[in-house]
Structure formats: C-alpha cells, structure tokens
Chains A and B, each alone.
Chain A
Amino acid sequence: MPDNGEKARRGRGVSRRDFLKASSVTLSVPLVLEQTAAKPADAGARIYGPGKTPITLLVNNKKLNTQVEPRVTLLEALRHEFELTGAKRVCDRASCGACTVIMNGKTVYSCSVLAIEAQGKSITTVEGLATPNQLHAVQQAIVNNDGQQCGFCTPGFVVACKALLDKTPNPSLEQIHRGLSGNLCRCGTYVGLKAAVQEVAKGGRRNA
C-alpha cells in the first residue's frame, strides 16, 4: 500500500499507522525508531521558548509570519493565527482526521504537529484547493455525491481524498477505504465520499 492518506507524525520519525501496523503485526519485535532513539541533546539543536517565538509557515503557497508559544500545534496556529478554520480540532490526538492537511505532499494530522516543526515545509489546507470561482474537482464531486452532512469532518476528508487521488489516480475500492481510513465521520457519509472519489477517478473534472 502506498502511503496515501498516511498521517506522518513529524518529529516522531514514525507515523501512527506505521506504528499500529508494526505493533499489530508482531508484538515481539521491538519497533526501532531510528530518528527518535534516545540520544543526548544535539549541541546544535535550536531551543525555542518558553515564551512566544517568531515562526514562518508556507501555507497554500503564501509565507505567513506570526509568533506562537512552542507548545502550539500547527492546527491551532492555522486556526488562531491565520483564520484558516477549515481544519478542525475534533479528537485532538490523531484519531479522527478532521485536522488533516498536506505537508510536503503527505497528509498529516495537524493536531499532532507542532507549528515550529512545520516551518520550512509546504503546507496545503482545504482553503488552498478551490479558486475563488471554481471548486477543486474533489470538492465538486463531494457536493455532487453528497459526501457530507453536518460537514464538520468534511474539510479533512476533502484533503484526504485529494491526497489519495494525487498518488493513486484510479484507486480500487480497497485503496479508497485505506486512503480514507485515517478519517472518521459521525453522520455517516462514507457512501457519498466513496462515490465522489470514484467520480473523479473516472474522469470527473480535475484541477491540479
């Protein structure tokens, strides 16, 4: 399975799903986290905080500057500092996908990425997909197939669907389920979401 919809949790060196995969496949083999293996603090490591620290984020191709405490997540920075409120805080611990954004081409749970860690990365949020006059093909297909009800999980699913289709333009049903498996919906819109992905794959209008 390619890493469509994979929610890489930066800074831990391993995605939550990789961890679950590894830990469920064989509990007896210790999971080796190369990048997080305990080692003494790097003399060259940058130390932030404890107060507010200036950061620059590249969001939807725009450089955005603000000051946040180091404990502030990418999700809270997007929402509080830049009024990008499409991504939502729902579970707040990388379970539900409502905060999904794309970082350097991979979907991440922005609730579990620190804003300071997201510097220097290219971040795409749901607000970055549509032009003022036209929805992205994935967005239009979700409207057409009613892949949304209350709509609170929808921005996360839009981003997950786009990332899935970017990597796998013609996904099988199994690939769709895996691509969307990092996101949860309470109203039960999976039937419409699946149809929407299939509509785009079958040649529904696609924007870059």
Chain B
Amino acid sequence: MPDYKWPEAPKRTWIGKRVSRLDGPDKVSGRAKYTYDIKRPGMLYGKILRSPYPHAKIVSIDTSAAEKMTGVMAVKVIQGAGKEIQWAGDEIAAVAAVDEPTAEDAIRAIKVEYEQMPHQVVDTDPKVAEAKPPVEETKGDPEKAFKEADVVSEGFYGSNVMTHCCLETHGSISEWDGDKLLVHISTQAVSGIAGQMANAIKTVPASNIHVKMDHVGGGFGSKFGPDRWGIETALISKMAGGKPVKIMLERNAEQAVAGSRPSAYAKVKLAAKRDGTLLAWQSEAWGSGGPGGGGQPPLPYVFVFPNHKKQHIAIANNVGPSRAWRAPNHPQAALITMGALDDLAAKLNMDPLDFFLKNIAMTGQRAENYREELLKGAELIQWKKNWHSRGDKAAGPVKRGLGLSLHTWGGRGHESNCDLTIQPDGSVEVKMGTQDLGVGTRTALAIVAADTLGLPLDAIRVRIGDNDYPASGGSGGSTTIGGVSSSTRRAAVDARDALFAKVAPVLNAKPEELEAVGGTIRVAGTPARSLTWKQACAKLGGMPLTVRGKQLANQSDLTNSGVGGIQMADVSVDTETGIVKINKIVAVQDCGLIINLKLSESQCYGALIMGISYALYEEKVVDRNTGLMLNPNMEFYRLAGSGDIGELVVHMMTGPGYDDRGVIGLGEPPVISPGAVISNAIANAIGVRVSTMPFTPDRVLKALEQKGGSNASV
C-alpha cells in the first residue's frame, strides 16, 4: 500500500513555504487571458434584453425591426408572450451581431409590451411581505431557562442584501463545429459546466461539449452554472451558423441579477447567570434572497446552547435571485450571534473576551483551538490594554472601540482526479479539470508535485482549466485546496514509486529504500548512490509514465473538515459625522496543513478587506416603487478602497495539532467574522448598537440619536 501521508515538517521542501503564485507574471503583464479577453475568429457579440419591471406579464414581443438591421445575425426570444416575469432584469430576448454597438442597437429595436403586476421588494419586515410558513425549532426548556435567568438581554441585528460584484462579469463564448460545442466561460466549475449545458440544450451530449477557461475574474460563489445567458450563447450561435457568440454581462446586469447575498434580520433574546454562564437562546429571524426566499443562517452560531427556541421566516420577493456568497449564511449568523453575545456581555458588565472564554466549552470539540486563537488575537491587538467598557469615555467626538467574533467552516476536499505524467526526458506534467479563482490552485498543484518528486517548482508543468483534463470538483465550500492537493499527492506518490521500481535495480537497492530529494533519486541518506532526475527518468525507456491520482468525496486521510478562526477589530467612530474608520483588524485562523503560506495569508487579507467592504459600504438598494436596483454600478455600489482598510494582521495557526489534520479549505472562513467584529467594535466605541449592516454614517447617527445624541453619557 503506497504511503500517501503528507511529509513531516523537516521533510517539506515546498509545502507550507511562502511561494509566489506561478501565474503572477502573466497577470501583472496583462498576458493572462480571461473569458472576457478571448476573441475567436469570426466572433459575434451577443446582448440580452432584460425586463424593466419587477413583476409583469409579457403581452407581446416584436423582434422584426431588430432582425432587419444590418450586422444583426440572430435574434431570439427567451421568454415570449404569456410569460410572467418575477424580477427586474430577467432575460427576455437575445441578439447576436457583428459588433457590440450593433448588438446594443438591435436590443433597443425590440419592442415588448408588458402588463405590469403588483410587486413586492421589501425584506425588512415579514409582516408586509409574502412569507413562507416559519421554520421553528426548540431544544431543551428555553421557557424555564428564561424564567430562572439572572440576566436577560434583547437585541435586533440585521444584514442587508449585497452583491457579489465580480470584476469580470458573468459570461461565455459558444461556437459549434458540426455537432460539437466549444465553450469558453467564466466559471468556478470547469468540469461541471458541460453536463449543465447539455441538460439545458438537450440536443448535444455533454461529451461533445468542450469547456475551457484559463483565468476567472472573481466568482465568490456566483459562477457555478452556465446561466441562462450562457445557454443562449450556444443557441444563438447555432442560429448564426455556428459562429462564436460572446455574451459578457453589462455591469448593471451583473449587479442586479448575477449575484446577491440574502439579507438576514433577527430579534434575539439571551438568558444567562450573573457570572456569565449562558443558559438559553431565542430568536425570530427572517430574510430574503429574491423569489426563492434566501438562506437560513445557522443560529445560534458556533455556540451550542443547552436551551434554544428559534424561528426563521423566508420572504419571497421580486428581486433578482440570490446565489451562494462566500460562506453562505455564516456572515449573517456571525453578525447576529456575536452581536447578541456582545450585548449580553455589556449588560453583565463583563469584558467580552473573558465572557467568550468563560463559555468557550459551548463551541464543542474545537473549544481549545478557539481559546488558543482568542489569546493569540488578544496579544496581537493588545486587547487587555486597549479594551474599555461599553462607550468610550474619552473627550472629543471620535470614539474608539474593540470588538471580537469567532467563526467556523467545513472545508473538506472535494472529489478530484489528477493525471501526472513523467516523460523519459524528465519533464513532468500535471493535468486537472480544475480552476484557479485567484487562490493559487496552479501554484498548489506544482508545490505538491514538486515536493513529492524532489524537484524545483519550475520543473512541473501545470495544466488546468479544461474539461478534457481529469474531472475535479467546482470551487465552492472551500473544498478546492483539499481536493486538488490530495489528488495531486496521490498521483505524485504513485508516479514516484513507479519510477523507484524502474531505477531500483540500477542503484542495487530495493524500491522502498529510495527517496526523491533535490533533483535526484537516491538510496535514502546516501548521496553517493544516486541518479539525477534526468538519468532516472531515462530508465523509463520509450514510454512516458502516466498515473491517475483519485481523491474521493469524504476520503479523509489527506484532507479534513472543520476549521475555526477568531477576529478582533479596533475602530474609531466620529459621532458627529457617523463615519466609521478601521484602525486595525487581527485575524487568527487555522486551516490544517498549509500548502502555500504566502497565498494563505493573501486569502485572509483579502477576506478581511471584503469584510470591511460589506460591513461599511455594500448594499443592494432596491426601490420600493419601481422595484429596480438603484445602484447597479460601482459608483454607488461601493467597494472598500486601499485607504479604507487600516492595519491588517493575519496569524495562521500551524504546527502540531494543526498540520497533522491534513489540508483544509480557507477561502470562506476568514470572510465570516469581519461584519461581526466591526459591529461589536462600533458598539463598544459609541455605547449603542447600530443594528443593521452596512454601518453607514446615517445608520450610525440614527443609532446615536436613539440613544439620546452623541454627547449623552454612556
């Protein structure tokens, strides 16, 4: 039985080191080609006509004028007369033309008559909305616990709908060669697209669909499917004689229909003993993610209460549907739970660090990791020196405060297949139908293969982004790094062992006595009895050596599930302007065995920045009267800029107790807590909870006003 297990720390040459991303030079030089950059011979440009109404019936549609326009090659109705539209921006018709301006002109020439219907876009109050029946759950005896409690704390916490705002909008290019379809697509699931497209198109088997993508300009959970506009590229390409048709969404469509994170609001009541022991949780929560109603945040988050009673109401409304947003439902759950716990700590007059540590056993089997991480974070932000009780008593309008939160995620590796080929000339190639969302997938494959084969990184040629390569899972749920590194490890170990078997006789040794180190194959610990890598590979004879590494779903010898992390924020709030400024955020995170420390830290920095962005700025504003998104752009849908982020400190937990768990995903966990830590730090600074995220100046000022003004004693 081959020994696949990860090498011990002293034997790792690349794994866990700080390695620059291998495709970095392509990206900084503009050479990296994204779907948006691909130009195929004879390519046509497609555009989509979208509904201007949030709820309407299509009475008639007239495409004749568009069809007659010079340069227009195909016009197709997607949803015709009689169809009921459920959200503004839904797809009505598609065109393909020789260039983008002509396609835009053609879209404008299509005449649609709509019968408007009553719409509902509100999600802030379940009473005025069309809601599904509540989902309820009770555990233990919460009623008794609330009666016997020394302290009961109540609060309201909310998170608005926000968007994914991928910089590369969704889109694809389809072209037919006879009965074969070639698709370039901006996706998180290179191996999963063909099957989905075949299901939708129905006339082409998935095995005839070739999917390619070298680079993707952001996904964050919104790019798993081909989407209706992607299916249309294939259908209108067929109408245009198979010519390539490219549709990339306009920015306004990207913001309005191609990704949103559901809202979540909750009234929470907590019961505790005077010494801070938590007794019971009660919550009434609701939220919306469009027609489907949105997700249900896992409440209470991380902490398992002996008694709880909770209710969730999903509101269906006429807003573009939600998609998985990086750690679906967890950021909302963290904001609600950590905010409620922080308010309870304030009511008990306890330092929340002490309060969280006192109840840390309620986080379950990873309690000791959380304790270790909280203490590390406290050291990095100098919690004990800088913390004050709720409400900064310092003079002046600018108040400063600290907040903390903790989070959890799964992250077990997905199913993955890897082909590794060693050529007789010594060159090595790794092939996999995976994708690099910017997390460094290519680099990870090279690191694992090079580490296993004792080679430099540039000796490994990595090929990904093509469904002709062995299938590997979609990049969701932080499952990629565990899956792809495990399948690569298995392939590399098998290839290395096969090579050992070939060269063992030459070295007068048994295969199991050999090791691959520093570009040589040698008898373990005996440099004198060695072959260079090239000499060893020459023994393969005429045939290259190809092996398939298979990582199965739920196989857990190389990957694992369940990570924790804590974050702490230091913010300043100007009580005259309501502006929140980030001074510092500390993230302490574990993710098992780290493949590339540099890029792991990048993931955490990036998650903190995205978190600051959603906590302070991002909101999908939908007009109650027209049902339209009012800020489907990047001027009024604001992202954090480089000057908005303060000082960020990332500490990765590594070493014994962490490395030996195997490789676990990291993309999602560090983006969960930023909203909660900023919310708690604001409350600590100004002495009152700003209930709803993003914490914009108007909301901060309103909360201060409800408290009695910025100068009121706290």
Q: Which residues of A contact B (CB under 8 A)?
A: 69, 71-72, 76, 79-80, 83-93, 95-96, 98, 125-127, 129-130, 135, 139-140, 142-144, 146, 148-155, 158, 176-178, 180-181, 183-194
Contacts and interface: CB of A to CB of B under 8 A. Distances in A.
Contacts of A188: 605-610, 613, 640
A83 B30 CA distance: 11
Given A95-B634, A146-B20, A188-B608, A181 B30 contact: no
16 contacts: A86-B31, A87-B30, A89-B36, A126-B29, A127-B30, A139-B29, A149-B606, A151-B217, A178-B643, A184-B641, A185-B609, A186-B166, A187-B610, A188-B607, A188-B613, A194-B642
B439 interface: yes
Contact of B168 (A69, A83, A88, A125): A88
A39 to B, nearest CB: 29
B532 interface: no
B605 A86 contact: no
B437 interface: yes
Interface size class of chain B, counting residues whose CB lies under 8 Å from the partner chain? 35 or more
Contacts of A183: 641-642
Contacts of B31: 86, 127
B33 interface: yes
Nearest to B252: A92
Determine which residue in B28, B602, B643 has the highest number of CB atoms from chain A within 10 A of its CB, and name it.
B28
A149 B39 contact: no
A186 B28 contact: no
B610 A93 contact: no
Given A88-B36, A186-B166, A135 B100 contact: no
Contact of A126 (B30, B101, B608): B30
A191 B670 CA distance: 16
B599 A186 contact: no
A189 B606 contact: yes
Interface in B635-675: 635, 639-643, 645, 648
A98 B24 CA distance: 17
B666 to A, nearest CB: 13
Contact of A154 (B28, B639, B641): B28
A66 to B, nearest CB: 13
Contacts of B37: 79, 85
B167 A85 contact: no
Given A143-B21, A150-B437, A153-B167, A192 B602 contact: yes
A152 B635 CA distance: 18
B213 interface: no
B218 interface: yes
B32 interface: yes
A83 B41 CA distance: 13
A190 B33 contact: no
A189 to B, nearest CB: 6
A88 B633 CA distance: 15
B250 A93 contact: no
A87 B217 CA distance: 13
B599 A95 contact: no
The main secondary structure of chain A at its interface with chain B is loop
The main secondary structure of chain B at its interface with chain A is loop
A191 B606 CA distance: 8
B217 A130 contact: no
B250 A146 contact: no
A83 B101 CA distance: 18
A176 B648 CA distance: 16
B645 A150 contact: no
Contact of B28 (A85, A139, A176): A139
Contact of B643 (A84, A154, A177): A177
B165 interface: yes
A190 B645 contact: yes
B80 to A, nearest CB: 30
Interface in B269-289: none
B643 A181 contact: yes
B195 interface: no
A191 B641 CA distance: 11
Contacts of A85: 30, 33, 36-37
Contacts of A90: 167-169, 251, 634
Interface in B499-558: none
B21 A146 contact: yes
B217 A150 contact: yes
Contacts of A125: 30
B609 A146 contact: no
Interface string B585-603: 0000000000000110110
A143 B642 contact: no
Interface string B409-440: 00000000000000000000000000001110
Given A96-B634, A150-B215, A181-B641, A71 B438 contact: no
A49 to B, nearest CB: 12
Interface string B612-635: 010000000000000000000111
B24 A148 contact: yes
B469 interface: no
B35 to A, nearest CB: 11
A120 B312 CA distance: 63
B439 A149 contact: yes
A79 B38 CA distance: 10
B34 to A, nearest CB: 6
A148 B27 contact: yes
B650 to A, nearest CB: 9
Contacts of B25: 135, 139, 143
A17 B532 CA distance: 60
A130 to B, nearest CB: 5
A152 B168 contact: yes
B670 to A, nearest CB: 10
Contacts of A129: 29
Contact of B633 (A86, A95, A149, A153): A95
A143 B24 contact: yes
Contact of B24 (A72, A142, A187, A194): A142
Closest 9 CB pairs of A and B: A86-B30, A188-B609, A152-B217, A150-B438, A188-B606, A151-B27, A149-B438, A177-B643, A143-B24
Contact of B639 (A69, A142, A186): A186
Nearest to B650: A191
Given A143-B20, A144-B20, A187 B634 contact: no
B314 interface: no
Contacts of A135: 25, 28-29
Contacts of B167: 88, 90, 96, 98, 150, 152-153, 184-186
Contacts of B33: 85
Given A177-B641, A185-B167, 18 more contacts: A83-B39, A90-B634, A91-B634, A92-B251, A93-B251, A127-B29, A142-B28, A143-B28, A146-B598, A146-B602, A148-B24, A158-B30, A178-B643, A183-B641, A184-B641, A190-B605, A190-B609, A191-B609
B172 to A, nearest CB: 16
A107 to B, nearest CB: 15
A184 B438 contact: no
A149 B633 CA distance: 22
